[in-house]
């Protein structure tokens, strides 16, 4: 008895290709083309790290493909993609890290190329004055034009909390912009 006949596809990997009849590689490529730049902008501007944004964007799409293809339409898929990216960012920020240069492992310092240092310093001043979560909320609300309900779905926060957090973050950012001389309407 051949087990590959008993469990078709699993041993050859064919199941992975046929599991989602709603989506093929061309459809994914089109969706990627339409959504990847926006996702990268979100990740880069809220993290302030272009290299990290590259990594998290790739991981977001891979997880998205593993979990949910385009079955529920592009708008829902895009929102789901942002949700994955938002969770990845949150996990990144929660990860313990060295607080001082003495605590940092030598091999890590040796790997830190000037390009990486540069990429890490790209956070815009008004954004840098905010907490990471506030940056995310502001970006989703004002750059991506998501409603409070959609932001709640993406971030996992309550709608009431989002309204309050957005109110404070917006005020803080407006003050930072005025302080930096960018307060013109």
Give the residue with the Cβ less far from other proteins, 18 or 114: 18
| Contact status: 142 vs other proteins (CB under 8 A) | yes
Q: Which is nearer to other proteins, 99 or 185 (CB)?
A: 185
Q: At what angle do helices 74-94 and 50-67 cross, to 10 degrees?
A: 130
User: Is residue 123 close enough to count as binding other proteins by CB under 8 A?
Assistant: no
Pairwise CA distance, residues 100 & 96, whole Å: 12
Dist CA 71 CA 22 (whole Å): 6
Q: How far is CA 158 from CA 72, 91, 178, in A?
A: 23, 19, 30
Residues that bind other proteins (CB under 8 A): 3, 7, 10-11, 13, 15-17, 19, 25, 28-29, 32-33, 36-38, 40-41, 44-45, 54, 57-58, 61-62, 64-66, 124, 126-127, 138-139, 142-145, 163-164, 167, 170-171, 173-174, 177-178, 182-183, 185
């Amino acid at each position: 008895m051949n087990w590959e006949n008993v469990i078709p596809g699993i041993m050859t990997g064919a199941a992975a290709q046929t599991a989602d009849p709603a989506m093929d590689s061309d459809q994914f490529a089109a969706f990627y083309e339409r959504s990847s730049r926006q996702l990268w902008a979100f990740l880069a501007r809220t993290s302030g790290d272009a290299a990290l944004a590259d990594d998290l964007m790739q991981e977001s799409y891979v997880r998205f493909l593993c979990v949910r293809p385009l079955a529920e339409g592009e708008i829902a898929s895009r929102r789901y993609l942002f949700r994955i990216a938002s969770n990845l960012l949150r996990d990144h920020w929660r990860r313990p890290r060295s607080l001082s240069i003495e605590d940092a492992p030598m091999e890590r310092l040796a790997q830190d190329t000037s390009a990486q240092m540069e990429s890490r310093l790209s956070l815009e001043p008004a954004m840098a004055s905010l907490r990471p979560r506030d940056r995310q909320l502001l970006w989703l609300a004002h750059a991506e034009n998501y409603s409070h309900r959609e932001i709640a779905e993406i971030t996992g926060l309550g709608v009431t909390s989002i309204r309050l957090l957005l109110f404070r973050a917006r005020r803080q950012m407006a003050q930072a912009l005025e302080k930096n001389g960018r307060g013109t309407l």
